[in-house]
Homo-oligomer: A and B are copies of this chain.
Amino acid sequence: MANLRRVVLDVLKPHLPNVIELSSQLADLAGVDGVDISLIEMDQKVENVKITCEGDSIDYEKVEQIIKKSGGSIHSLDKVSVGTSLIEEAITHQD
């Protein structure tokens, strides 16, 4: 089956574990090369973050498990890229 090369998630999480701890756990997964976590919004209890994972062969279920175990909830799966190469979304007149 084709390899998952990039996945972008919209996640609501508690402040702890912090984004460094969470991104490290994700980046330690086999098949993941790098993880970017960007803060969208935060309040006193939770933070809404955007997680981008890239790699040769990402195991999405393990990504999900780590996020859930750390108390996060996945609001949406905003973008995936799959195949023998990482392709970019083309811009259209409907965007």
Contacts and interface: CB of A to CB of B under 8 A. Distances in A.
A78 B39 contact: yes
**In the complex, which range does the number of interface residues on chain A fall in?**
35 or more
A27 to B, nearest CB: 3
Contacts of A28: 1-2
A37 interface: yes
A18 B77 contact: yes
A83 B25 CA distance: 10
Contact of A77 (B8, B19, B82, B84): B19
Interface of A: 1-2, 4-8, 10, 18-20, 23-24, 26-28, 32-40, 42, 50, 52, 54, 60, 76-90, 92-95
